[in-house]
Every structure is written in C-alpha cells, then in structure tokens.
Amino acid sequence: MSLIDPFGRSIDYIRLSVTDRCDLRCFYCMPKGFKGFEEPEHWLTFDEIERVIRIFGALGTRRVRITGGEPLVRKNIPELATRLSALPGIEDLSLSSNAVQLDRHAESLYASGVSRLNISLDTLNAKRFKEITGGKLEKVIDGLMAAKAAGFSPVKINMVVMKGINEDEVEAMVDFCIEHDFTLRFIETMPMGATGKDAVDHYVNLQTVRAKLEERFEMVPGVMPGGGPARYLRVVGTDLRIGFITPISQHFCETCNRVRLSVDGTLYLCLGQNDKFELRPLLRDGISDDGLEEAIRHAITLKPERHEFNEKPSQVVRFMSMTGG
C-alpha cells in the first residue's frame, strides 16, 4: 500500500504539529503580539491523532515527526510518542523542538521511542538569542546536553542563517557542533504569513555560506539517515556532517515525500502553498476507517507540484508555527 501523488511522488512521511503555541517568539516564525491561537476544543485529541497516523501507517507512511509550535508545551507528549511509535508501519519517530524544556523531557522521550531530535539554535550568543527568540539560551544548552546524555544520536541542530543577524556565527556553530558531536543543518529563511517580509529582508543564499566554509574546511559529500531535503557534506578529519536546506536557492520539490497535519486536523499538502484538506470534521462526524482512508487518498491528489516562494513570496498566509516547518 502506498500513497502516490499526481506527480508520481510516494508520500511516506508526515509532520505532525501537536500545538500551534510556543514558549519562544522567533521573530521570523511568529508575528509580534500574535494572539490568534487555535481553540483547545479544535485540537485533535491523542486518540484522534493516533487514529489518523494509524491510517497513514496502513497507507505506507513510515516516518512521523512530532513538531509544533513547540511540541513540548503540550502535555504528555512522551505518552503520545509511545502510542505513535507502537503503530504498525511506523518505523521512525522523530521530534523537532526549541529545547527550552528538553532537559526535563529528554529521558522520557528517549524511552518513548523517539529516535531522533532536531533542535533549533540560531546563535550561541545569549544576548542575540534573547533578541531573536525572546528566551534564554542557557535553557536550550541544558536541553541539548540532556538530549545527548539521554542517548539521542544524532542530535541535529537547525540554524536559520540570517543576514545582519547571525550570518557571522556560521563557523562558530560548526566548531560547537564538532566539539559536542552534533549534526548541523543550515536553513534558508522562507517567506511565511505575516513574518514573510522578515524572511525576505534577512535572506542568505546558502550556496555562499557553503563556499565560504569550503575555504576553511575540506568537505566531502556525506549521507545522513532520514536526511530529508538537506544536502549533506562531511567535514574531513571530523565526524561532523553539515546539511544545507535550500528551499529558495535550490528547491527540492521533485523529491518531496511529505504532508503536514496541523493541530486542528488540517492536512497541508505543501509548506509553500495553501492547498489543504480538513480531517477534523470527518473525524468528529464519526467517519469509518475506510472512509478516512478514502479521504486521505483524495487529499493526496491535491498535492501541488512545487512551492512558489520565489514567484509568490506573500501567498502563504499561515505562519511556520502552524505547520511546524
């Protein structure tokens, strides 16, 4: 069984946003003073999420990533992770987090079957961290160390590289990741919702970052399990792998294998388009498993060929925190 979209791509990966709330306010992700969060009665319950993921598993989905908002602000995420990792067909469960609350949760997440963690970290400077996110860097570092101690390997660090903000810290982040044995991924800013202008203003083409790093480090092509859209290089003489996620300068839509489920049960077919399909009304109207399977198959037929961040940078009206990147 598999889900094949109209462009022949096999969809075997779902990104599951368990909340649209967050304990940080990264300026490029959530607009200042944003208050329009989803009402709790619209959040899919754990039972509803488990049911949807079970059907996706039966339709060939092998990988699930729990994301947000910040997933760790929703209660009992390790319990949900235990339920999802036990589902037939689900071979890989991972989680994206800002790590603010990770020191408390790292061990239980590891025990629950989460196999890989992606942590957002744009700067190693506490003052800058505060300016970018509104939060405390110290907590994130504690969270990272707790993740390592709990046994997560690899721990991937996601750094959104931004002009005039943290571009000058690319090498410091490479050194930090070599020292702590983390994998590093650089990300280009994407124009989303009301923060779109910030993304455009601070955009850095990662091809230039890569060229600059190659002046200091010898790098060879590297592979990474579950690498997704990142193109990886390994720094010779170290174990460090560096991924480049380049939706703008070199898009990777032809190999897209994923869809996104938001906390209110909306299935988004592409990060850079508005195409969507609502599952919550069906779930709450008592749809059968066969009906749900049919609805998901139909939703996949709506998947667009590619994003248009370059051509139509202001067309996506939601924020990244709604679909979790």
Residue ranges in contact with ligand SF4 by CB under 6 A = 22, 24-26, 29-30, 68-70, 98, 120, 133, 320-321
CB of 180 to ligand SAM, least distance (A): 18
Residue 93's binding partner, choosing from ligand SAM, ligand SF4, none, with beta-carbon cut-off 5 to 8 A by kind?
Answer: none
187 binds, among ligand SAM, ligand SF4, none (CB under 5 to 8 A by kind): ligand SAM
**Which residue number, 55 or 190, has a Cβ lying nearer to ligand SAM?**
190
Q: Minimal CA–CA distance to 252: which of 228, 218, 288?
A: 228
Site mask for ligand SAM (CB under 6 A), range 140-169, x = bound: ------------------x-x---------
Cβ at position 243, least distance to ligand SAM in Å = 12
Size of the site for ligand SAM (CB under 6 A): 22
Told to check if 243 binds ligand SAM by CB under 6 A, we report: no
8 Å CB contact between 41 and 74: no
Stretch of 67-75, 219-227, 261-269, 292-300 contacting ligand SAM, by CB under 6 A = 67-75
Point out which residues bind ligand SAM (CB under 6 A).
22, 28-29, 67-68, 70, 96-98, 120, 158, 160, 187, 189-190, 192, 195, 199, 320-321, 324-325
